[in-house]
Amino acid sequence: MSWSRPRGRRAVAILTTVALVAASAWLWALSLLPASYSMASMGHPDYGGGPAEAAGPHGHSHGSGGIDVSTLVPDAGIPADVRVDLVARAQRVQLPGLAEFEGFTLNGRTPGPTIEANEGELVEVRVANENVREGMTLHWHGVDLPNGMDGVAGVTQNAVRPGEDHVYRFVAQAGTYWYHSHQAAHPQVTGGLLGALVVAPRRPTAGVVDLPALVHLYAGVRTINGQPGQVRRAVPAGTTVRVRVINTDPGPMPVWVTGASYRVVAVDGRDINQPDPVTGQAVLVTAGGRADLEVVVPAGGARVELAGSSIVLSEAGAPSGPAPRAFVDLLHYGRPAPVPFDPDAAVRTFDYAIGRGFGLINGRPGFWWTINGGLFPNVPMFMVRTGEVVRFRVSNSSGEVHPMHLHGHHLLVLSRNGVRATGSPWLVDSLNVESGETYQLAMVADNPGIWMDHCHNLPHAREGLMTHLGYEGYSSPYVVGGEHGNHPE
């Protein structure tokens, strides 16, 4: 009888192994993404506790049917006030003081030309892709433009293949923005397919010197407008300078000023109401985010420090100093002002809970980011109706910081970890969410379409930290993958 036991055990062991292999093969197969799929039908609709979509011939937009988002564009009859032609190229890039690297240019340079406009003007940008093999697009980061102009491959357009071109048109909103490819975004943004967009307000303050500072790491070297190290702007003492800091890198960047105090006059293209002067504190600019710093240059000059590179505002030198340990808390910065909607009138609250878990994404095992417990593409699609006030509760228990970016809208920050905002209305399109933090945000769903809502540490987006905000009754004719090879991240 003693022989039967090991044999029985062996049989059990074999069966268990077979079952485990079968189960993992099944899970692996389940996790595979199809060769092409619609972003709009990805995951499961999440109504945030509000009314679900009406069933019926036109009711169900989660997938196909409904208004085609590519038709959401400014009236073709409006003449362009600002016209820009860009040529995108994959090439070896030589920046001053840097080793040559394989990158991308627009009109032969990176960053691409700074596009300047005045508030209310119609901007028209034609981009021709000369030789970027994977195709490319231009996304207007932070601009709340019509969805058809959002430049996301596989969602609002097809990737522009070599030899093709594409026209973007939108009405300029005042503020500091940037543009970048949203096709194979991680390699293309890192490699330099980006530039600044600066829109002057209707009533600019006279005598202020405007200085865009697009910060980017090229091959590990931090640069300002493509220049490594120290950049100088020789301005006489007494000049007011508005430094428009744009963080195009994957991580948060502390910015501060030595030699003078400064005011944070705008964040993500939205003015701060009555900003207080800051000394001895840095402001943290999240990945993808912008902060406009106003500095009145004193006799001894001032230096804007951008975590490794700096801007000297002086005809001579400027003092340097240690990095401050304290940060401006935008939750309590500036003075309150009325907002054009009532956050308490929200009809939906969406949870965007970022975690981390073991699993398979597209057949690859890993310790991946999760959204509300699910791995991509098993993530929520936040569904709204035009005109609604909605809330988001964004939390992070993943152990790492995530710069969360919603396309096409600005979100009002209501609270962080239960502490209510008491300062100026703080509106963001890119929000630094540290591990352990929970933000309450609110917005008006006033810009129909299908909008990405993802982490702007672009490798994280590739790893599945990406979802969408969808408007009921709208759909996209584009697919991810497919014959155009659309891969937004």
What is the per-residue binding string for ligand C2O in 353-392, x denoting contact by CB under 6 A?
----------------------------------------
Q: Which is nearer to Cu ion, 321 or 373 (CB)?
A: 373
Q: Which is nearer to ligand C2O, 89 or 182 (CB)?
A: 182
Which residue bears the tokens 């701060």? 272
Q: Listing from the earlier edge strand, what are the strands of the sheet with 230-233?
A: 230-233, 309-313, 302-306, 253-258, 281-285, 326-327
For residue 457, state whether it binds Cu ion (rule: CB under 5 A).
yes
60 binds, among Cu ion, ligand C2O, none (CB under 5 to 8 A by kind): none
Q: Which is nearer to ligand C2O, 169 or 290 (CB)?
A: 290
What is the per-residue binding string for ligand C2O in 393-412, x denoting contact by CB under 6 A?
------------x-x-----
What is the size of the binding site for ligand C2O (CB under 6 A)? 10
Q: Which is nearer to ligand C2O, 147 or 281 (CB)?
A: 147
Among 452, 455, 479, 480, binds ligand C2O (CB under 6 A): 452
For residue 455, state whether it binds Cu ion (rule: CB under 5 A).
yes
Q: Which is nearer to Cu ion, 47 or 382 (CB)?
A: 382
Cα separation, 471 vs 385, in Å, equals 5
What is the per-residue binding string for ligand C2O in 278-317, x denoting contact by CB under 6 A?
----------x-----------------------------
The residue number whose beta carbon is nearest to ligand C2O equals 141
For residue 159, state whether it binds ligand C2O (rule: CB under 6 A).
no
457 binds, among ligand C2O, Cu ion, none (CB under 5 to 8 A by kind): Cu ion
391 binds, among ligand C2O, Cu ion, none (CB under 5 to 8 A by kind): none
Binders of ligand C2O among residues 67 to 86 (CB under 6 A) are: none
Cα separation, 480 vs 155, in Å, equals 7
Cα separation, 151 vs 139, in Å, equals 4
460 binds, among ligand C2O, Cu ion, none (CB under 5 to 8 A by kind): Cu ion
Q: Which is nearer to ligand C2O, 132 or 235 (CB)?
A: 132
Q: Which is nearer to ligand C2O, 47 or 451 (CB)?
A: 451
The least distance separating ligand C2O from the CB of residue 303, rounded to whole angstroms, comes to 28
Binders of ligand C2O among residues 99 to 158 (CB under 6 A) are: 139, 141
Q: Which is nearer to Cu ion, 60 or 460 (CB)?
A: 460
Binders of Cu ion among residues 376 to 415 (CB under 5 A) are: 402
Torsions phi, psi for 341 (to 5 deg): -155, 165
Q: Which is nearer to ligand C2O, 246 or 313 (CB)?
A: 246
Cα separation, 297 vs 302, in Å, equals 6
For residue 248, state whether it binds Cu ion (rule: CB under 5 A).
no
Residues in contact with ligand C2O by CB under 6 A are: 139, 141, 180, 182, 288, 405, 407, 452, 454, 456
Using CB under 5 A as the criterion, which residues of the chain lie in contact with Cu ion when the complex forms? 402, 455, 457, 460
